[in-house]
Amino acid sequence: MIVDVQSKILPGVTHWQSPNFYAYYPSNSSVAGFLGEMLSAAINMVGFSWITSPAATELEMIVLDWLGKLLKLPQEFLSPGNCSGHGGGVIQGTASEAVLVVLLAARDKTLRRVGKSALGKLVVYGSDQTHSALQKACQIGGVHPENCRLLKTDSSTNYALPPEIVSEAISHDISIGLIPFFLCGTVGTTSSATVDPLYSLGKIAKSNDMWFHVDAAYAGSACICPEYRKYLDGVEEADSFNMNAHKWFLTNFDCSTLWVKDRNALIQSLSTNPEFLKNKASQANLVVDYKDWQIPLGRRFRSLKLWMVLRLYGVENLQHYLRNHIELAKYFEECVGQDSRFELCVPTLQVVAPRLFALVCFRLLPPVGDNEVCRSNKLNQVLLEAVNSTGKLFISHTALSGMYTLRFAVGAPLTERRHIAAAWKVLQDEASTLLGTPLQ
Ligand code: PLP
């Protein structure tokens, strides 16, 4: 068996835990996360209702309240406990599921108000930088394909969604008889980790009776550091908020945390009550049954690993962990900035995308005098392929304003400064080969 794993499996594995992995966004593993997964696998319960394993439901509520408090989410997102309120947190498998369930809750809430026959008139808003999970949620949720508005952003707002554009689009849609119902803002977009203006977007959503969701799948983690919490300012205007603990929070995949202010909206959309699941605690409405907050019935004991991460590492170590990656990204950014063959800036367009967290977006400049976009895009594509073909590091790309842009996301737990230096050397060497001009 071991021989087969080594010869047949591992050669085909992309090593996301390698210190030289800088592609996409990270997917952290840790001793605590791994132990939590092991314990969960050993217990192997299926906690869809409270009664099917009370500890699983109760730990999930407790741990999400802990994390919610760490993120300084408004009280309305936390479990009501002895206070009034209808909020609470739940662990979904992925951010895509989180976005889907809140979109379904918002859709049904709106349809209860305007009538079921209005489904074809419902409109969703995000930006062209919003993760494609929103589009998928619209597809599944029966939103008419033409009613998913991905509003255009550009470098003038660093690819953040301008509130005026959202207001205009909503007013126009209302004027032609459509019904805006869902707005998604992002903290840490997938292409360039930009942050949408949450407060203004939230106000727009509120004044139009819309559900406002904030997707902080990647960058939410950093907001446990006081100096990064400002990026969540305005989350108090949101109806729901998600963050992937399985990205940059040392919690093994999968663990996507979602908080809502109105759990009843989720439950009204997603609950079923078949005879074979009935029990006294549920019937008396004394407990949380997470089956009604998610798509599947069955669910894993995911809170164990998040509990272990929080307990074993503690807040200060987690903050240090995140800050260290951000410092390493800063170091990489300095390296790029010192080599005039590369750009963090597009001369006419300001910055490719400013670094806010631990993602650096950059490009190799074409030879002097060649400003043709196609050729410069091809150059960067060839550079990415050449760098990744060395097997020494792995980076990915995106497109910003039609420009093929390289992404360097620091976030693997084992990455140190020496790895960044080595990665930068590979990038420089491959650039020299491509341009035919060795670094002076
Ligand atoms: N939202 C954002 C901002 C992301 O960056 C990602 C993935 O990178 C997602 C959503 C989708 O995450 P998941 O794979 O958990 O569905």
Q: Please state the domain extents for the chain.
A: 2-26+314-435, 31-310
CB 431 within 8 A of CB 342: yes
Does the pLDDT of residue 435 top 80, yes or no?
yes
CB 370 within 8 A of CB 438: no
| Mean per-residue pLDDT, 291-300 | 97
CA 217 to ligand 1 center in whole angstroms: 6
**Which protein residue has the closest C-alpha to ligand 1 atom 9?**
95
Residues 391-402: tens digit of each pLDDT: 999 999 999 999
CA distances from residue 200 to 157, 171, 197 in whole angstroms, order as listed: 14, 16, 6
Evaluate: CB of 398 within 6 angstroms of ligand 1. no
Counting from 1 in the atom list of ligand 1, the atom nearest the Cα of 254 is: 15
CA 256 to ligand 1 center in whole angstroms: 9
In the CATH scheme, what architecture does the domain 31-310 have?
A: 3-Layer(aba) Sandwich (3.40)
Q: What is the pTM of this model?
A: 0.95
Cβ-count burial 136-163 (b if 16+ within 10 Å, e if not): ebbeebebeeebbbbbebebeebbbbbb
Counting from 1 in the atom list of ligand 1, the atom nearest the Cα of 246 is: 15
**Residue 117: Cβ-neighbour burial (10 angstroms; 0-12, 13-18, 19+):** exposed
pLDDT for position 231: 98
pLDDT for position 374: 84
Evaluate: CB of 133 within 6 angstroms of ligand 1. yes
pLDDT for position 346: 45
348 pLDDT band, cuts 50/70/90, is very low
Element (H, E) at 324: helix 303-338
CB 22 within 8 A of CB 408: yes
Element (H, E) at 327: helix 303-338
Asked, as a colleague might, if the bond just before 254 is cis with ω within 30 of 0, I would say yes
**378: Cβ–Cβ under 8 A, 6 or more apart, which residues?**
404
Evaluate: CB of 244 within 6 angstroms of ligand 1. yes
Evaluate: CB of 127 within 6 angstroms of ligand 1. no
372 pLDDT band, cuts 50/70/90, is confident
**188: Cβ–Cβ under 8 A, 6 or more apart, which residues?**
194, 195, 216, 217, 218, 219, 220, 222, 231, 356, 357
Q: How far apart are CA 264 and CA 380, in angstroms?
A: 49
Is it true that domain 2-26+314-435 has CATH number 3.90.1150.170? Answer: yes
Does the pLDDT of residue 51 top 80, yes or no?
yes
Residues 107-153: tens digit of each pLDDT: 999 999 999 999 999 999 999 999 999 999 999 999 999 999 999 99
CA 60 to ligand 1 center in whole angstroms: 21
Q: How far apart are CA 145 and CA 135, in angstroms?
A: 9
- 13 token code pair: 């594995």
Does the pLDDT of residue 14 top 90, yes or no?
yes
